[in-house]
């Protein structure tokens, strides 16, 4: 008669948590891959210009960045004014500091790699050429010849 038998206890089945770790690891790896380590935070505002014919920088460990742009926070703007500034590593610098910077960056690399280093100029597009030229002259004096003008990629125009 009792076809629909009532069970006394209603037990919730246990979930198998064994694979949770896999999922978490997956997230971990995913974020490890997409986030790039930023060694120093920028104090200057940089929007690089766009170009169609760009090359990728090959060896990241052999690239040193030179950042040029106007200060990006209100306090700094008040203190320093809107003139473009050079940032090397994590501090503001003058054009005359470039040679020291080049030497310091070369020192931390292997001797064999020092001459194939690339100097990446990350310059805001609103900056005037004057300061960029000064930097280039200093780089020439410091025999850092391989430069890269950092740009963003733009799709080529079709006619």
Partner 1 sequence: MARKTPGLNTGSMADISFLLLTFFLLTSSINTDQGIQRRLPPPLRGDEKPPKVNERNVLQILVNMYDQLLVNGEPMNDVRELKGRTREFITNPSNDPNLSENEPKYIEELGKAAVVSKGVVSIQSDRGTSYEMYIKVQNQLAEAFDEIRNERSQQEYGKSFDNLNDEQRKIIQKIVPISISEAEPSNYGGKK
**Least distance to partner 1 from the beta carbon of 145, Å?**
5
Contact by Cβ (8 Å): 86, 67: yes
- The correct pick among 2, 14, 41, 108 for binding partner 1 (CB under 8 A) is 14
Is there binding between residue 148 and partner 1 (CB under 8 A)? yes
Contact by Cβ (8 Å): 67, 91: no
Please tell me the distance from the alpha carbon of residue 18 to that of residue 16, in angstroms, as a whole number.
6
Is there binding between residue 123 and partner 1 (CB under 8 A)? yes
Is there binding between residue 59 and partner 1 (CB under 8 A)? no
Q: Which helix (H) or strand (E) holds 92?
A: strand 91-93
Contact by Cβ (8 Å): 62, 116: yes
Closest CB to partner 1 among 75 and 156? 156
Is there binding between residue 55 and partner 1 (CB under 8 A)? yes
Is there binding between residue 146 and partner 1 (CB under 8 A)? yes
**Least distance to partner 1 from the beta carbon of 125, Å?**
4
User: Which string of b and e fits 93-119 if b means at least 16 CB within 10 Å?
Assistant: beeeebeebbeebbeeeeeeebeebbb
> Which residue in this structure is represented by tokens 């089945």?
13
- The correct pick among 2, 16, 41, 110 for binding partner 1 (CB under 8 A) is 16
Binding site for partner 1 (CB under 8 A): 6, 10-11, 13-16, 18-19, 22-23, 25-26, 29-30, 33-34, 36, 48-49, 51-57, 60, 63, 118, 120, 123-130, 132-133, 136, 139-141, 143-153, 156-157
């Amino acid at each position: 008669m009792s076809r629909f038998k009532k069970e006394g206890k209603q037990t919730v089945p246990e979930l198998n948590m064994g694979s949770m770790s896999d999922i978490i690891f997956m997230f971990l790896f995913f974020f490890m891959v997409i986030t790039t380590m930023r060694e120093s935070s920028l104090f200057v505002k940089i929007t690089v210009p766009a170009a169609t014919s760009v090359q990728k920088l090959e060896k990241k460990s052999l690239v040193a960045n030179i950042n040029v742009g106007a200060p990006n926070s209100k306090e700094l703007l008040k203190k320093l004014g809107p003139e473009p500034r050079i940032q090397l590593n994590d501090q503001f610098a003058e054009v005359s500091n470039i040679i020291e910077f080049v030497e310091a960056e070369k020192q931390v690399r292997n001797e064999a790699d020092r001459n194939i280093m690339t100097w990446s100029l990350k310059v805001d597009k609103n900056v005037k050429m004057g300061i960029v030229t000064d930097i280039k002259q200093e780089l020439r004096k410091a025999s850092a010849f391989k430069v890269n003008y950092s740009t963003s990629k733009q799709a080529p125009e079709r006619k």
